[in-house]
């Protein structure tokens, strides 16, 4: 040990600004009366998603297939986001996506693929098809609220 070091007093270290000097982390806000259409054929998955959306104060609608999803979306007074499973009966998520994108008043609504086929290849396929985001199943209840906030704020979320 050198003469300048004192074992009872560690060398001084520049301390960072206090937490009070920094801006608080702001989460994106959720639009009032937000509505999300969940296109999911598995009841258990839908219930989980609906509960998490309800926790955020988001109204949730449910469709079990991509078949006639445009007609159903037309009946909703407000639609902010569509969470679309890929593997659906009668018409898959890709077919439903094409129909929604071809409908003038629905084509700007963000559509996020939500699938158990969560891998890089499927994510890239969803991106090329025109989805606005990708969430892999099983959904993480700790991350889901922030993911939804970010999506509703206009951010593109692509997460396995």
- The domain that holds 47 is classified in CATH as 3.40.50.2300
Residue 37 domain-assigned (yes or no):
yes
Contact 74, 99 (CB under 8 A): no
Beta strands in 6-110 (DSSP E): 35-39, 59-63, 81-85
Residue 16 domain-assigned (yes or no):
no
Residue 58 domain-assigned (yes or no):
yes
Give the SS3 label for residue 98: helix
Residue 20 domain-assigned (yes or no):
no
The tens-digit pLDDT sequence of the chain (160 residues) is 444 444 444 444 444 444 444 455 566 678 789 999 999 999 999 999 999 999 999 999 999 999 999 999 999 999 999 999 999 999 999 999 999 999 999 999 999 999 999 999 999 999 999 999 999 999 999 999 999 999 999 999 999 9
Number of domains in the chain: 1
Residue 24 domain-assigned (yes or no):
no
Q: Which domain holds residue 61?
A: 29-159
Residue 69 domain-assigned (yes or no):
yes
Angstrom distance (rounded) from CA 69 to CA 145: 25
């Amino acid at each position: 040990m050198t003469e300048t070091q004192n074992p009872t007093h560690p060398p001084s270290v520049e301390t960072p600004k206090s937490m009070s000097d920094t801006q608080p982390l702001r989460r994106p806000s959720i639009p009032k009366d937000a509505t999300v259409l969940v296109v999911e054929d598995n009841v258990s998955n839908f219930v989980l998603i609906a509960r998490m959306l309800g926790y955020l104060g988001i109204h949730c609608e449910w469709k079990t297939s991509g078949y006639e999803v445009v007609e159903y979306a037309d009946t909703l007074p407000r639609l902010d986001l569509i969470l679309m499973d890929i593997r659906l009966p009668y018409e898959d998520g890709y077919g439903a996506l094409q129909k929604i994108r071809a409908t003038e008043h629905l084509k700007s609504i963000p559509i996020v693929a939500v699938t158990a086929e969560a891998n890089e290849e499927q994510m890239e396929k969803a991106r090329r098809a025109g989805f606005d985001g990708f969430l892999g199943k099983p959904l993480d209840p700790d991350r889901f609220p922030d993911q939804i906030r970010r999506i509703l704020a206009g951010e593109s979320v692509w997460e396995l």
